[in-house]
Chains A and B, each alone.
Chain A
Amino acid sequence: MQEELASALSKKLLEVGIEGKVSNLEPLTGGASKEIWKFEISNAKQSTKMILRRGSGIEGPLAIKTADEARIQKEVIKVGAPVPKILAVSKNEEELGDSYIMHFVEGESIARKILRDKEYKKALPILAYQCGEAIAKIHNVDINNFSFLPKKPAKDQLEDLYSTYQSFEQPSPVFEYAYLWLKEQDFGNFQKSLVHGDFRLGNIIVNADGLQSIIDWELAHIGNPLQDLGWVCGNSWRFGKNDKVVGGFGELEDLLEGYNSVSKLKVNKEMVKCWQVFGTFRWGVICLIQAYAHLNGTINSIEKAAIGRRVSETEIDIVDLLFLGGE
């Protein structure tokens, strides 16, 4: 099977003028709905590492098409946001399936390693500022290039999330409270932006110098730019480092300083709070979606079964943010 994949890869690359032999093909653990393969392509002149990212046929419920991820990466690289360069895109009906090939970026994406290993110790204090800058660059992209992306204003998303939650008929008093609270919030009337939708450790590549690349664009949409800032500040993405508000590694002040240095918006801490609650509620509903994919028999998976019991993590985070002085 790997030989077939290698041959399909070299054929596809030849179409875009990259000639060579594919070797060292290895699967990497990707998201739940995507396959990720790392490989090398070598010819007489050089050897280059690349990544194949391929839809597995089981797309996440909020996810965009794999080929559309490639279209986004091609645009945001132009404004200087760090993303891997796209080399080739394959349509669903082609041999490689719904997928694209991009440059391999050296570094680490596994959150716990980035937070724990010595190698990244100097990167962590500057990472929040760098993330702020990068997120602001994404938000500055001209959205006229992204007519293919779904438009998701805050209030619409909130209604969608709430009705998705309701559809599972597993009532949560905390979610009911959060929904009513969120309905009353002012999410800010900002210019519509390209929103990454899942910016956090796990979806960025980091090395000793800090942020190298932003990956995993499957939840991208057009919406309120503050969503990305609130999301990365949710406790769900701090990986146990509760006191580091930004992704378990940084301070909110640094994230906003980086963001405001690039963006026309001047975002302050207070504006992020309701987006933190929003993001936590959103992650809770995504956990429900995953768990019920298992419970309904769509996918039999121990991971998806286990994630059903992570809904309570988002409930206690919401309670902490709303009543107990959590940040």
Chain B
Amino acid sequence: MIFDRPTSSELIKAVMDFLDTKIKDELPPHLAFKLRITNNVLGMVQREIDQGETLQQEVYDAMQNLMHSDELTTKKLSELIKDGKIDLKDEDLKDLLAILSKNKIAVDNPNYSTYKKLIK
């Protein structure tokens, strides 16, 4: 890594804090609503930077077990399902889809109710 601190994640955190402490209260309601979305979006980017690699690797490991292919991608997995190459009743497939979904939502929205219920 040739880049100095603040890291990209720390820079995003600084922007989020700035928006939250200095800008939020200055805005009329319809823009305050958009600012909340903006902050959510920055949170996604921050989590993807911080945890993305690990979350992705977990999914690849699960794919390795099931797919027996050099191409471990969601595209390839989608094709295998579509073309009937994996039995829909296969428990390993269900587990894989579960871990894929959990690891995606862990970045996109870890406060989502179904995710919180499932990791309890």
Taking Cβ atoms with an 8 Å cutoff, the residues of A that contact B are 29, 171-177, 180-181, 235, 238, 240-242, 302-303, 305-306, 309-310, 312-313, 315-320, 322-324, 326
Contacts and interface: CB of A to CB of B under 8 A. Distances in A.
Interface of B: 30, 33-34, 37-38, 40-41, 44, 74-75, 77-79, 81-82, 88, 93-94, 96-98, 100-102, 104-105, 108-109, 111-118
A303 B82 CA distance: 31
A315 B117 contact: no
Contacts of A241: 113
Given A172-B74, A238-B113, A242-B117, A316 B102 contact: yes
A315 to B, nearest CB: 5
Contacts of B41: 302, 305-306, 309
B114 A235 contact: yes
B68 to A, nearest CB: 16
A217 to B, nearest CB: 24
Contact of A315 (B40, B44, B82, B104): B104
Contacts of B37: 302-303, 306
Nearest to B113: A242
A316 B88 contact: no
A23 B100 CA distance: 54
A309 B52 CA distance: 14
B86 to A, nearest CB: 9
Contacts of B81: 173, 176-177, 180
B65 to A, nearest CB: 14
Given A29-B33, A177-B88, A306 B105 contact: no
B101 A174 contact: yes
Given A302-B38, A303-B37, A323-B97, A316 B114 contact: yes
